Structure 1
């Protein structure tokens, strides 16, 4: 089946299971209240499905600071010149008008778990019966010596889409002739496992056209990475001699950066660079720490319901969760959100809850019409979300198949953003 906007939403809705119309309990106290923190692939999807499938039986409030949400997934295609920036931006108007969701543009700065209240930066306080937290990632301070968030204008991370993505694109396009682009890749686990290497591909695509004598240096603390054979085959085919990767055997795990002088230090050796994309180690978004539901880095969850293992009235989705085998991706967050929505409606309205099943696919673009993918299906066990089968593109595939894979990814993007934002 070719994946497009309609088939993605239909298949996803079927996987989430259409439930019988719920009967609201606790009516004497008004409708049950759900607060969702974070308006990305996890939060927006959960808010929409809880509101839509409860048919007004649950009061849903979505807290998201930005009025226009730019997807991190597909932002590499903007870097490579395959999409314009505004195509990544999505607003929340339909969630409010079509589904009755109260969309609040503010920062959540505190969670009182005993009182079941969320405090916002404005001072407002929201009551909840269930809380869904899907805040994405924050960065681990000190994980790249010499870099902190104050250095993001000199050495952007661009791992939260928006102005950082625009900045990195401008830096790449304005590199001096024959200059050096360096990437400090993150350690596992992190958002979008193939993401840094698709980004390298897209930067190479731009440089090949505009600055063909430029070089790319990847400084990588990992011994291996997602879809490695596919990316390396593509780099050799499309960008021969341009890309070098230094892994931990040669100092890729011993990197310091000097933003003021635009230098990287690799196991004691100083290298001058023209552009440096630093992608630090990652952790659950800050609100998870403030709520006291992390293991120090991520937020452990019960796989069947995505409930926090530390508070049954809180569900954690997407990149922030520690759930088992699923990668941290937009598709994963969207899939988990539907399981969460079913569980929340079951708990608050008595509607039927079906066994949790999940899926994920990660597409990457290596060059024009050269798309690759990896994916899997999953089910919930008591210990973790466990993989039940997977697939991956193969080296040496026919160019026409690679083109179809890329086109499939475009259909998925249209589908998932419609699924998130209505």
Structure 2
């Protein structure tokens, strides 16, 4: 870890220059699509071999099956690659890898990650193709996810099983779950039940009231009494400590409340998205890529988390279009571009080290897994952010398809 810190410090001058330059979204998207083609050549053809991560010093992907919570990111990347290029090869591969996830919409729910899995894959697929079969799968998945909602608490249960420190069988909700609400909002507006909207809205409101400290930093998890709905405690599972600001958890809050405002128009969500953003931006290091946890005492010799930077960059590009204060909107747009400039620099792009897009993400440090690693969800939000930036640079709406 010390060598990583020395390397990153040595490249700070380069990153400082990159952070002031405009990101060439088309160039970086071309890099991403080239890496996608390389990864496709390395991916086994059998169903269920989905890329997830590459450990430092290796070029070999760890592959997972469709039940893994990360299974939707690779098909989502393929859909984004198709959106960027119009490639029929990527269209076919996106369709093929998405098909592996279809059983998730029909099986008994195992946790909250259906949005990550189904909406990133079939959601992007439907957005780009209008395939009615994709829509049906999303609607089924939304109904399945809704079965985890506890009306006494007002949130979706994240882990319906025993997890360390979660006081099972009490009700647990993790900040990651904010991202999965998008599928419920979408489904409610595209043929699904109104109750899906109500569930998502309730989850976001209850989380806003209970999941954050006075400074607007997020707990990773909150435990509620499953019968009374009363908050028992806030804690962490993947962060440094119960009182610390875990970088990726804060990124889910930034992205999640921005999306919730877009879907609902509920002004407190827009205000809250700015509050959770500002505490994150105020604590960033010079290269705009956070350490895995802002309160790790090992900083600056702690691992970075490029995945958090990618999630926030994508979220801030959208937030900048929603904020009416022009000065603040410009601040968020500039911050997002600075993050993307750093992520697009030699310090963070994988290049010829492996076929992922990015290096230096951290998955679950307390568990000793995926530390300083290339991880598929970092790549997903990086290419999403680049597509959003390109649309904005072209004067297009973020909902518009790229030609």
Please give the TM-score of this superposition, normalised by the length of structure 1: 0.29
Please give the TM-score of this superposition, normalised by the length of structure 2: 0.30
* Larger Rg computed on CA atoms: 1
Q: Higher strand share goes to which structure?
A: 1
